[in-house]
Amino acid sequence: MIGASWTSLFLAAGKSVAVYDSSSSVEKSVRDYMEAAWPTLEKLGLTENGNPDAVRFLSSPEAAVKDAAFVQESVPERLAIKHALYQQIENNLAPECVIASSASGLTLSDMQKGWSKPNRFVLGHPFNPPHLIPLVEVMGNEKTDDAAVDFAEQFYQSIGKVTIRLNKERPGHVANRLQAAVWREALHLVKEGVASVEDIDIAMWAGPGLRWAAMGPNMLFHLGAGPGGMRDFCERYSDSFNTWWDDLGSPHLDASAAALLVSGVEAAAGSATTDELAQQRDELIVAMLQAVRPIRGTGD
């Protein structure tokens, strides 16, 4: 699904796309996904130069990467699968081609071990779904050409993405670690009986989630103390935050915790299907992106 979402966005941006997947049903599934995603891309104004027919489905990864200027790899997050793919395609890549991995849970250094020459290979981790959520986390390291990282970042920005650079390797990168920290405390609050799964979700979207969609926590707290900014905020609230941090939980997502979450989400969802909820999510995100574009002045 990540690859299908990327395909939709690339086509909307006027790129020609070659797709390979080992599944025999890949063409139908990708075209169905594109058909569903295209109206969303139109609402966001991202299809002005788009051509949904500029896509080819190839029977091998070697054929798919031939003559490509940029490759977005989105195969399953198992190192053996990724390394095998890299060995298949490496000798078929154009010398200046940049290859970016969508990996969210694997590190760049571990993935680099599948390459003889990893200098054109970068991390290009999107947030799901890539055609809708602007963020891409970009990273290279001492084995990566600086020009390859620059190219990847400029490419993503040219198709309407918002990029951040990772300066140091950490499992989960940046955004996933942030949401993992919030979800861990949400799970802790559920297990402690502080609030229901539904009310915790409401607390997020009706509270800090709104602010975080505008600015990140550091800048928001800078504003939270008025003219004194972050310096005054730290002086005023350090005792409170230290007390809260000391009281944060460290639950594990075991079978009992999963059962609590499943029952809570099912109760909150009611009769709504996952497709219906996903449509509601997408409509809300599109509306927010359309609203903030005149203020941010970005292509997202």
Residues 234 and 85 in one domain: no
> Which residue, of 115, 140, 165, is where some domain finishes?
165
Residues 186 and 132 in one domain: no
Identify whether 43 is part of a domain: yes
What's this model's pTM, rounded to 2 decimal places? 0.92
Can you give the pLDDT at residue 298? 54
Residues 66 and 196 in one domain: no
Residues 157 and 196 in one domain: no
> Which residue, of 98, 133, 165, is where some domain finishes?
165
Residues 27 and 160 in one domain: yes
Residues 21 and 66 in one domain: yes
Identify whether 156 is part of a domain: yes
Can you give the pLDDT at residue 300? 42
Identify whether 104 is part of a domain: yes
Residues 93 and 136 in one domain: yes
State the CATH number of the domain containing residue 246: 1.10.1040.10
Identify whether 215 is part of a domain: yes
Identify whether 292 is part of a domain: no
Q: How far is CA 255 from its chain centroid? A: 27
> Which residue, of 165, 187, 205, is where some domain finishes?
165
Residues 250 and 182 in one domain: yes
**Over the chain (300 residues), what is each successive 10-residue block's mean pLDDT?**
96 97 94 94 92 96 96 97 97 96 96 97 96 96 97 96 96 95 97 97 96 94 94 96 96 95 96 93 92 72
- Our count of domains for the chain comes to 2
Can you give the pLDDT at residue 208? 96
Identify whether 276 is part of a domain: no
Can you give the pLDDT at residue 11? 97
State the CATH number of the domain containing residue 90: 3.40.50.720
Identify whether 278 is part of a domain: no
Residues 13 and 144 in one domain: yes
Residues 56 and 79 in one domain: yes
Residues 115 and 95 in one domain: yes
Sign, Cα dihedral of 2, 37, 213, 293: positive
Identify whether 300 is part of a domain: no
- Residue 189 is part of which domain span? 175-269
Residues 77 and 140 in one domain: yes
